[in-house]
Amino acid sequence: MDKHEGVGVSVDAMLEDLRTLVETESPSRDLAALERSAKAVASMIEHRLGGRAELVASPAGPHVRWSGGGEPRVLVLGHHDTVFPIGTLERRPFRVADGRATGPGVYDMLGGLVQAVHGLAALGDLTGVEFLVTADEEVGSHHSRALIEERARACGAVLVFEGAAEGGHLKVARKGCGTFEVTVHGRASHAGLEPEAGVNALVEAARQVLDIAALNRPEAGTTVTPTVAFAGTTDNVVPAKASITVDVRVASDTERARVEAAFAALTPHLDGARITVSGSVNRPPMPPEVAGELLAHARKLLPGVEGVAVGGGSDGNFTAALGVPTLDGLGAVGGGAHADHEYLMVDSMAERAHLAAGLVSAIRG
């Protein structure tokens, strides 16, 4: 037995399942890929936990739902979509070397799914346990949110297997987050013959970017970051249209309301320009107090582990905002989410699987 293994948990078996999931590429919005990925997740769950995993159809791809039967007591929550396009695997194949597993999605969050399944398998009796693995977390959970909230209310406690915080710590607070799209409508004209007849949407967009960036309030935990912009059609035409994509993170509902009102109030600087805005802070802030009792259980099971606040969002934002006890960051210990250097620490896998099992046992009493 590997020195990192424990009763009922095999690191080799976990790595085998992780390889299968990583090699079944699953970029968000790619419905064919997500269909294959959902089937791979369902197969793993059924093989390790028994029973039948249901594929729940949605416009974003299939979610995977499994129940151990009985009165629902705890929801194990994750997602199988990743941010990496098809073909990433060819460039960055799954590998295990020097104590690390690497490959697209190992940390965010396929490793967490594998650890959760293997931890639950070690329990044997899974009465009251539900597993929900969604297909659209990386793109806002617009088609899974209602199901997530429904099952969280029904179960009364949520364990989220997103990647761990730095040092293996757990996540008890997250910022609310959302994306805004600002579209500038101008008027085209010939850039050489009569530029004055046009309304330059690119110039207007440049002014709007500065106004938007000024909404930052880092002292209040708010970041407002223009991230993507497009304008124009060709080099001798005054641009008639421009668009700006903005990432927003807020630590409080007060700041959420301020930022949303500010976007709604954006006004053009150029005569004849028009602005339209879509989007919102769709993930509410995750307040730390809802994790209190679950974190106390975790600290008994894994002495030294702490609860920390992070800037990224997850589906735990939704469940925590309902007041349902929620503990996040229970997944892979590693780093590099959404990056080429993404990795998972192999020697933590058995420990985290046992943490999953221990938390479920504690919740069920």
Q: Which residue has the tokens 């000024």?
A: 214
Residue 351 in contact with residue 302, Cβ under 8 Å?
Answer: yes
Question: What is the Cα–Cα distance from 291 to 286, expressed in whole angstroms?
Answer: 10
Question: What is the Cα–Cα distance from 125 to 8, expressed in whole angstroms?
Answer: 13
Amino acid (one-letter) located at 20: T
Question: What is the Cα–Cα distance from 234 to 72, expressed in whole angstroms?
Answer: 58
Alpha carbon distances (Å) from 132 to 72, 135, 188: 13, 10, 49
Question: What is the Cα–Cα distance from 133 to 53, expressed in whole angstroms?
Answer: 10
DSSP 8-state class, residue 117: H
Amino acid (one-letter) located at 296: A
Alpha carbon distances (Å) from 356 to 44, 94, 158, 159, 254: 17, 24, 11, 8, 34
Residues contacting residue 363 through CB under 8 Å, at least 6 positions apart: 73, 74, 157, 294, 297
Question: What is the Cα–Cα distance from 38 to 55, expressed in whole angstroms?
Answer: 7
Q: How many CA atoms lie within 13 A of 187 on its CB side?
A: 10
Alpha carbon distances (Å) from 182 to 198, 211, 247: 20, 12, 11
Catalytic residue numbers read 81, 137
Instruction: Please report the sign of the dihedral spanned by the C-alpha atoms of residue 341, residue 138, residue 111, residue 284.
Output: positive
